[in-house]
Amino acid sequence: MKRIFILVLLLFVSLSFGSIKKDTNKSNDKKEQCREKKHCKDMKSCKEAIFHLEVCGNKKLDKDRDGIPCENICR
């Protein structure tokens, strides 16, 4: 009985660490995306510009501070 409990506990712990690693990879991917593009001329879509404004915090994309980034793309 003790062995089964230990095996279940080890399985639970190993699964928990696996999900932590996946979350870390996702946040690293976002950081990588944030570094790639800094200016409106680099954006290919309004959705991408909104991502860089909201997720990356790139306030330069919203020059008039109305919440709409890259107004040449997002009309």
pTM exceeds 0.85, yes or no: no
Q: Mean pLDDT score of the chain, rounded to an integer? A: 83
pLDDT at 67: 94
Residue 57 clears pLDDT 90, i.e. is over it = yes
Alpha carbon distance 10, 52 (integer Å): 40
Element (H, E) at 35: helix 2-36
Q: For the segment 19-46, what is each residue's pLDDT rounded down to a tens digit?
A: 555 555 555 677 788 988 899 999 999 9
pLDDT at 32: 82
* Burial zone of 56 (CB within 10 Å; 0-12 exposed, 13-18 middle, 19+ buried): middle
Helix/strand/coil percent split, the chain, to 5 = 65, 0, 35
pLDDT at 31: 75
Alpha carbon distance 47, 73 (integer Å): 9
Give the residue extent of every domain in the chain.
1-36, 38-75
